[in-house]
Amino acid sequence: MRALHAVHRPTQLNYLIFGNKVPHLHTYVLPRYLDDSSPGMPLDPFIERPVDPADFEDQIARLRAVVGARNGSTT
């Protein structure tokens, strides 16, 4: 969670945990911001939020760098 805070700087994080049909959990971590469409309320799961592929790859690289730095990795 520290890496998400470091990279995305959310106001808060929402956690969704499901374990419906099989004995394992699906966990979603949702960064929330003051300019969300409905701050303080649940996000609408049916609204598409497309992400530019290049931006997505950049976010992944930044998260990996933060996690690697915290774990002593240089790669």
* pLDDT tens digits along 43-66: 777 788 889 999 999 999 999 999
Kindly report the average pLDDT of the chain as a whole number: 86
CA 19 to each of CA 24, 26, 29, 55: distance values in angstroms, whole numbers, following the listed order: 6, 6, 15, 31
Query: What confidence category does residue 73 fall into, taking pLDDT thresholds of 50, 70 and 90?
Result: low
